[in-house]
Each structure stands twice: as C-alpha cells, then as structure tokens.
Structure 1
C-alpha cells in the first residue's frame, strides 16, 4: 500500500502539522516523492540492479552470491560480501513481518472514510484477513496467481484515474514534478525536509520487491509494466493527492481515499484490500524462497518444503516459515494497531535494504562488470547519497519502533551464522569418524568374511572422499555388502535451476568392476532435492538400477555440545536445537519410508 500513493498523509501529519499544507510545501514534497521514485526505482533498479540476475533470479541473496562468486576468494571483499548477504537475507525476514501488517492495516483503515465511526472494526477485520491469508498458504499460490494480473491492472488504473480527475481540475499541480520545487523545499526548510524524508521513503518500499520478483516475471515484463502502467498511475495519484490537500487541508488525515467520490469509497476499500492481499502474498512467497536459498547455501538446516504446483518449481510452502511469520505479523498488528505507527519501524528496514543492495552491486560491478573507480563513484553519488539521506532520516526512529526489524535481522543472522559455523565443526568431526572411502573399499574387497547379498543399496552421503557411516556400520555389524552399491551426494549449485541433462555426475571411484559407484545429483537453490527422481535421470543415462527395489540408507548424526573451543556455549546449544528440529531427511529427499534404513552415530563438538 505504501507504493499505492499513501505517503502524503504521514508527511503532513508529522508532529501535529510540522509540514504546513502550503502550496510551496506540497509542491516540494511531491517533487521529492517523484524524483525519489525516478532515481531509486526507475534508474537504479530497472537500469542497473535488474541486470544483475542470477540465471534469471533476483533478490538480495542472489545478488550477494553473484558478487561472492566473482570476488577473489579469501580476500576482504569475499568476507564482506558474505556478511552483507547474510544480513541482507536476515533483514528480508524483518520486512516480511512488517509488510503484510502495514499493508492490510492501511487498506482496511479506509473503511473509516467510507463508513465513519467504524474505526473499532479496523483491527478485527485486518486480523481476520491475516489469519485467512496464512491459513491458505498450504494450498499454494497458484489460486491467488490467477487473479494477480487482472486485479493489479484494475488497481493501478484506478489509482491513475482517481488522480487524473483532480489533475484535470487544477493542471497547475503538474508543475510540482519539476525538481526545483524539491530543492527549494530542502534549502528553505532543511530540518523539516529531513524529517519528511522519513515518510517519503515509504513511496519506494516496493523497489526491492521488483528485484526479488524478477525470477517470476522476467526483467523485460517488469520494465514494461513499470513504465507503461505503474509509474504513470502512481505519479497521477500523488499529483491528485497534492491537489486535494491544497484545495482542502481537512483532507490531510487520509487523502488517498478522499480522492474518490463518496459512493466509490467503499468499493475502493475493497479493491485496496484485494491489492494488499496480493502484495502480502508476494512477500510471503518471497520469504519461502529466501529461506530455501539460505538452506541450500548451508545457512539454515534442512527445511520441510512442500511443492504446491506441478508446473511451477518456485511455488513452494514451508510450514515452519509460514507459522513463524503468521505469529509475528499478528503480534505486530495487535501491538501497533495502526499503519502510521508501523511506518516508523518500516522505514529503517527499507533504507537498510537499499544501502545493502547498492553496496553489493558495487562489489559485483567491480568484480564482474569491471567498472572503473569513477563509475562506482558516480553510482554512489547519484544513488548511494540519496539512500544514505533516507537512512539518516529514519535511523532516528529506532527507539520508536525501528528497532524491530533490526532485532529480527540480528536474530536471524545469529541463527544463520551459528548453523554455518556449527555445521563446519560437525562436518570436520564426522569426516574423522568416517575415514577415507577408497581405503574402506579396498579393505572390504579383500575380506572374504564379508558377504555379497543380492539387491541394490543407495547410501546418501555429502561427498565421495569419506565413507558413509551407514555403509561402515552395515558392514561392521551385518558383514554384508549389496551386489549393487551407490553412494549418492546432493550438490546445491548457486543457480536457481539445473536442467536434467546437467543433473547427474557419475564416478566409478577408480574401479569400474567393484559394483560401487558414486552419483552426484546437482540441484539449483529453487529445485526440490528429490533423490528418487534424480536417480531416474541417472537410470535414463544408462545406470542399471530398479528404483522399485532400491533400499535407501541414511546416516543420522546426533550432536552434543562439549568443552571443545571454537564456539560459545550458547551458540552450541542453539546449533543443537536447530539440528534436532531439522527436517526429516526421508521426507526432505522424498525417499520411500518403507525402504529406508536409518543408522546413527553421536558426535561431540
């Protein structure tokens, strides 16, 4: 909703009327809004950021790994990119909590304009919408997706028409688009302009969403939709609000809904609510995608991921993320109870996202695009300086709610870095227990006491250098090896999708006759890691195995914190909690439960 033409009200309501609704002030604010959108969205994102796509996928996490892939390994920039990427991804979850709450509240608050005296219904109706929104997530987004395009086209056309009516009534308001009005406002009222920037930033809150949604729509459709529909309609709506405020200062409280005639205000509330539900759905789906990307990049434990569409690989549902977001969004709605109060928390998160994206793009531009220093300097002058001004104007709101997204980001970043660090330590300990794979195969090959039994065994294991604990345990206690033995590793590739013809890598481990093969199944961070489906691809490439009779073996590791140095006690306990609550690998890898054997081991770290 913040990108739908609502920033004027909080700007002119600041401090009980600090920004007086004079013609000069209104023109100055509208000019600042228009040129902020032009610079940050139209120029920075559509001309530069959207060109930094990771095989078609966008978003700050994709940008971070594009930069990470191109910088020198082990250098300062390499570490910096990792830090920025983790914090940027963490900050996205803070945005994902605030966006549905502020969007739904801002739409339903229009009810008090259409039906005076209904203020007490805003929170209950908003809460009901939030409950319904999260409850239907498990059914998938394709149902909402059918109405996404038509509803949003109607929505933006409505914005444009509402604004156009008022612009035609007073065309002089068009001159507010001149940049000199914004510059005069800043020069003549620097203090007021600085405070106003804290609200103006809400006009560009959808910028990061454009980038994150690139994988769903593609860069060209986004650019066309923005310049042909969204940008002109938003501009007309802001101009219409400006004309309304100048004509009647009593409309300051809620100029957006007052743009419509009385008979159309209630339908406008309904349409706004539908638009915010779609916008919230996009953010929730984005949270699912970011969580799966983080998991594939070893920053989160295995998550239970359910595919909700047979045609679209990106349509997924992650129960734990959904219900954590639901609890957080509902809590925010009940605590803040007004979109204007939530806006103070929102600005800090948005401006930090903008600065992180700019910083990561600069690293990427130097490493991959070979930009010169003067090009980076110009980029920072035009975009970084504006975003830094927005951030400075919002940082003063930290004590008034801006701490919320920072706290969420810090918590998620702690979880992500703890898991990454703990996983490194546990992996090192596990590899010592497993021992070299080739040495183990040589030992069992020459041991006459170990029997060959008919059948096919698949051992899931993260690499081909060490021996799967399940294989070692099976040989040690049962003294048998299956006639056909496959060690299968899944590899997360830093691309969204891996085609089937690049899915499988086969290695005979130096002996093509011992009936032991290693198979690597490669998956992009948006691909479900379905091992039987991957083995079917291997079978199609000539591997002789009958998937109906395969027995799958898993090595289950139980971790226990110890007094070993390298991690603090609290972080060790947190890692233990995360490990115990990781998704069941049988379900995660889509293994048949009736033909899966789990053998375990304990590791102290």
Structure 2
C-alpha cells in the first residue's frame, strides 16, 4: 500500500522531484536565454507585432506538441524497466520486432543513427548554454566583454571536474538553484505580460500558421531556431532512469512548462514595448539593477543545463557498450544506494576537450546556434520511428490510432530537421560530423565483434569432448579453482585450451563462466544465475545481467556458492582471461581501415579484469591473435 501522507509527499518532492529539476530540466530550462533572440534574428525583419506573435505561437505550440505530448505523455511510457533513452528504446524495439532480418537491420541503423547524433547534442549544449549566460554579464556591464571566453572555459572545466561526485549529489545541490531559476523566469514573465497583455494572443495557433504561410524561406529559418526551445527533450527522456517518470512529469506540468511559457511571452511583451530589446530579450526584460544578479543566476543555471546532457550521455554510453555497440569503458559507481549513478572518466575527458574546442572555435552563442538543432532533431526523428515499433509490436496499439499519432510526430520532427539542414554550411555540419564519427565507431565495433566470433567459433570444440579426450591424460591436477571467462557460445574458452596446451596445468576445480548481457536493463535475481556440474570437477556457470548493471566476477562465484550451485569453498582461486589481438587482413569482412579502427578500439578497451572487478593479483591474461 502506498503511503500518501503529507510527510511522504514532502520526502518524494525533496528526494526525487527537486533533484530532477537540477539534472533533467537544466537544458530545456535555460533555452529562454537565446531561443527568442535567435528566432527574431532569423526572421530578418523588424520585430513588428505580427512577427513577434507568430514566433511566440510557434514556440508555445512546439513546447506542447514535442515535449508535453510526444515525450512526456507518450515516449516516456516506453521505459525499459524504468530506463529511458534511445538505446533503451532500441532494445525494446528489437525485442518486440517480428519479420525478416532486414527489418531488424533497419531498426538497428535507426537506433544507432539517433544515438550517434545525441553525442553531437551532448557536446554543443554545454558550450552554447554556458556561453549564452556569461554573455549576459556583458549586457549588465560592457567592461566584461574581454572576459567572456576565459570565464566560460573556467566554468566548463569546473563543471566537468565535479562529475566524479555523481549525478545524485550534483542534482541535490542544483535542484534548489533551478527552483529559484524557474520561479524567476515565470515571475518576471508574468510581470511583463501584465504590462502588455495583448501578447497572450499568441496562444492562438493561427498566428503560427499565418507566419509560416506569409514568410516563405524566412519562416524555415525561424523554424530552425524555434527548435532551440525543445533541445532538452531527448535528454529528458535519457535521464528518466535517474529519477523515474512520475517526478519528471510532475515537475514538467506543475513548474517547468508554466515558467517557460510565461517567460517566453514576457520576452515577447518586452520586445513589443521596446523593439530594440530584440538584441537580447531575455536579459533586457529585467530591470537594469537586476541584470547582474540574473546573469550570475543564469550562469549557475546553464552549468546545470549542461549536467542534463552530460548525465544523459553517460547513460547512453553505458547502455551502448553493454548492448555490444561500443568497447568496454572504465566505470565508477558514484552512489552505494542508487542504481544508474555512474561516472565515466574517459568519456568525461573527451567531452570536456571537445566542448572547449567548440567554445574557442565559435566564440559566441549566436554562432553556435547555427550549429545547433540538426543533431537533436535527427535523434527525435529516430525516436519517433522506434516508438512506433514498440507501441505497435510490443503493446499492440491499434494502427487507426497509432499511425495518425506517430504521423504527427514525424511531420513535426521532419519539418524541424529539414529547416535545420539549411544551417549545414553555417555550422550545422559540425554535429553531423560528430554523429557520423560516432555512427562509424559503433557500427564498426558491432561488425568487428561479429567477424571475431566468425573466425573463432567455427574452431570451437565441445566441453564434453575436451573432458573425454584431454582430462584423463592430464598429470596430477593442482589445488585450487581455475575460473575461465568465456564469451556466449564460445564452447571451450581459448584461455583454457591455451593453458592446458602450453602450461600442462589443470586445477582441481574448473569453472567456465559466461557473463551474458541481455536487452533488459536489469535481470531478476531469481533468474540471474544458472550452473551445471559437468563432472570431473568441471562446472559451467551462466550469469545474466542487464545493460544497466555492472557485474563483479568474485561476487558471482560467492553467490553461486551461497546458493549451492558450486560445491567448493572460496579456496585459492585464479582467473584466466583471453585477450584477443585482431590482425587486420585484406580478407572479406570489412574495409581494411575499419578493421584497423576495430583493432585500435579493442586494444584500448577497458581490460576484462578491470571491467569485471577481478583482483589484479589473481588474474592470468592469455593473448590470442586472430586474423579478421
């Protein structure tokens, strides 16, 4: 029975909804800093009433259709055991899809494309968010202009330095700041609306349609800028696993959406009253005495905005390598109580380097805005496609309802994506290049692993034959337990064959351990372990983990012994791990340059002993060279 007491409600708000403000809504919550400004710049005409009302109407209805309807009301239902994001959605879609193999191939390509483009968004968002806030200091005092870039760089370095403390701790500190931020947005917006209530006419979608019909090419450019208002929607879905759907939905409808709508309309009222305010409507809507405090609050808020994308990128990356689309990476758990609270040191460093390069290369938020939008709208398109597959195949939704619904999503996403393609020459090529590089890496890793298995597995021998032919002829077996890690379907592990062939050693107890990652975020404890006693001291253990879990091999063996799946005590245990060394060749498979890329990634992947948390002093690594 649920506890609905006031005390439990306060606990729920403090521990879930408030931190969610600091992690999930930072990106979309700081979009008012630059969205209306860029829309009016793209219009190319004076900010007359028809232009301002048309732009405001497009922004408002985009927030409703894309975020409130598509993501919050529908896409967030497609949670994979509570986890969100395009990789979790891809796993759901693959599990439910039926039909010929080419359908599955197309589905994987759609998912990988969306995931790859998300990395482009993950690099541009922190750069444009922090830079736009620091530029507000220049509005407060022109003396600050020479310090904009150095201050932005320092803020970003500080943000990435605190990531190792974990999303939960960061969200706990950031949540109250974002609460103040959204209250300031809504409060100032309401004040300006009261001065010019006629701006509320933009709630009528007719103004948006009239603007699109009347302005031709300029309307497409404005549409490409309107998408800046919803760039945090995909990160919102990706971060769902950190806090759950309920607090995210509550925070969106009760606070975030009203505050954003009021602020956009307040900015519009300011521009209608003072057309020159179009050069920076967000900061110029505030009284002069309040601009410096708001610039400092905006800087804090944009740091938080970057947190939403960073934590979403961590989640996406973990899901990708557990599902077999990226090489293993070193992961640190940052919470002993919360699942999904992780830190990836290598990814954190590369993200920071890329973002600093973007700031130094573009130097202003307006120039970065020209590169923004393509990545996130491409990911939105792929999300709509995958959502259709899940809703139709897994949930059995009626086509008569689903086709018009997803058709609307695709029409809106397609319009935004097409409008942003017009910005390719001005900077839109950058997220496309980042996305293409990420796609090549993921697809190459997937194909390279397949080639390795094709080369190795045809040579596999059955465990029964090995035990019948080899074990009886072995000299006295040494004391202790030998644990040999095997890939799914490998048969006899290469490390076991090499150890017997070259060292002529076999332990009294031999455990062949297969760690199997499934397409679910977490596996039930009751189904996690299975073991088979093969006789002659041989055991085969299969441990199943979801793509959001990190296994520890010593704990696996301990749990198997506790459950009676293994007979012996801990004793003296040695762990044998194969380390594959692929040798690129001109043989059919992949292009030679892709084979070299795969070999490079495999060499630099996190070592299996580190990833599986095996004590270093108990590990024996055996190199296996394989031509691909």
Q: Residue 547 of structure 2 corresponds to which residue in structure 1?
A: 525
TM value normalised by structure 1: 0.95
Q: Residue 282 of structure 2 corresponds to which residue in structure 1?
A: 256
| Superposition deviation, residue 84 in structure 1 | 0.6
Give the 3 Å change call, closer, same or farther, for CA 602–75 of structure 1 in structure 2.
closer
TM value normalised by structure 2: 0.92
Q: Residue 37 of structure 2 corresponds to which residue in structure 1?
A: 9
Alignment of 1:363-512 (within 5 A): 363-447=389-473, 449-463=474-488, 466-508=491-533, 511=534
Q: Residue 28 of structure 1 corresponds to which residue in structure 2?
A: 54
Q: Is the 8 A contact 1:101 1:330 kept in 2?
A: yes
| Superposition deviation, residue 2 in structure 1 | 5.8
| Superposition deviation, residue 397 in structure 1 | 0.6
Query: CA offsets per residue over residues 562-585 of structure 1, 9 Å max, x none?
Result: 232121111111111111111121
In structure 2, distance between residues paired with 1:603 and 1:192: 57
Give the 3 Å change call, closer, same or farther, for CA 408–523 of structure 1 in structure 2.
same
Q: Is the 8 A contact 1:11 1:19 kept in 2?
A: no
Query: CA offsets per residue over residues 39-83 of structure 1, 9 Å max, x none?
Result: 111111112111111111111111112111111254332111100
In structure 2, distance between residues paired with 1:380 and 1:210: 19
In structure 1, distance between residues paired with 2:453 and 2:410: 40
Query: CA offsets per residue over residues 252-301 of structure 1, 9 Å max, x none?
Result: 11111122222221121121111111221221122122111111111111
Q: Residue 583 of structure 2 corresponds to which residue in structure 1?
A: 560
Q: Is the 8 A contact 1:464 1:518 kept in 2?
A: no
| Superposition deviation, residue 422 in structure 1 | 1.1
| Superposition deviation, residue 354 in structure 1 | 1.5
Q: Is the 8 A contact 1:304 1:588 kept in 2?
A: yes
More displaced 10-residue stretch of structure 1: 46-55 or 456-465: 456-465
Q: Residue 145 of structure 1 corresponds to which residue in structure 2?
A: 171
| Superposition deviation, residue 591 in structure 1 | 0.6
In structure 2, distance between residues paired with 1:514 and 1:245: 83
More displaced 10-residue stretch of structure 1: 266-275 or 374-383: 374-383
Query: CA offsets per residue over residues 462-491 of structure 1, 9 Å max, x none?
Result: 136511122112222333321111111111
Equivalent residue for 2:558, pick from 536, 551, 558: 536
Q: Does 1:588 align with 2:611?
A: yes
Q: Residue 226 of structure 1 corresponds to which residue in structure 2?
A: 252
Give the 3 Å change call, closer, same or farther, for CA 504–2 of structure 1 in structure 2.
closer
| Superposition deviation, residue 248 in structure 1 | 0.3
Q: Residue 265 of structure 1 corresponds to which residue in structure 2?
A: 291
Give the 3 Å change call, closer, same or farther, for CA 106–458 of structure 1 in structure 2.
same
SS in 2 for 1:346: coil
| Superposition deviation, residue 558 in structure 1 | 1.5
Structure 1 spans left out of the alignment, 5+ residues: none
SS in 2 for 1:424: helix
Q: Residue 9 of structure 2 corresponds to which residue in structure 1?
A: none
SS in 1 for 2:370: helix
Q: Is the 8 A contact 1:3 1:202 kept in 2?
A: no
In structure 1, distance between residues paired with 2:469 and 2:374: 61
| Superposition deviation, residue 130 in structure 1 | 1.2
Q: CA RMSD in A?
A: 1.7
In structure 1, distance between residues paired with 2:425 and 2:438: 20
Q: Residue 5 of structure 2 corresponds to which residue in structure 1?
A: none
Give the 3 Å change call, closer, same or farther, for CA 487–270 of structure 1 in structure 2.
same
In structure 2, distance between residues paired with 1:313 and 1:400: 41
SS in 2 for 1:239: helix
In structure 1, distance between residues paired with 2:99 and 2:410: 26
Q: Does 1:189 align with 2:212?
A: no
Query: How many pairs does the alignment contain?
Result: 599
Alignment of 1:326-341 (within 5 A): 326-341=352-367
Q: Residue 299 of structure 1 corresponds to which residue in structure 2?
A: 325
SS in 2 for 1:56: coil
Q: Is the 8 A contact 2:223 2:419 kept in 1?
A: yes
Equivalent residue for 2:202, pick from 176, 186, 192: 176
More displaced 10-residue stretch of structure 1: 54-63 or 254-263: 254-263
SS in 1 for 2:477: strand
In structure 2, distance between residues paired with 1:215 and 1:143: 16
| Superposition deviation, residue 223 in structure 1 | 1.2
In structure 2, distance between residues paired with 1:51 and 1:541: 36
| Superposition deviation, residue 370 in structure 1 | 2.4
In structure 2, distance between residues paired with 1:450 and 1:405: 61
In structure 1, distance between residues paired with 2:29 and 2:319: 27
SS in 1 for 2:585: coil
In structure 2, distance between residues paired with 1:535 and 1:33: 56
Q: Is the 8 A contact 1:490 1:521 kept in 2?
A: yes
Q: Is the 8 A contact 1:437 1:464 kept in 2?
A: no
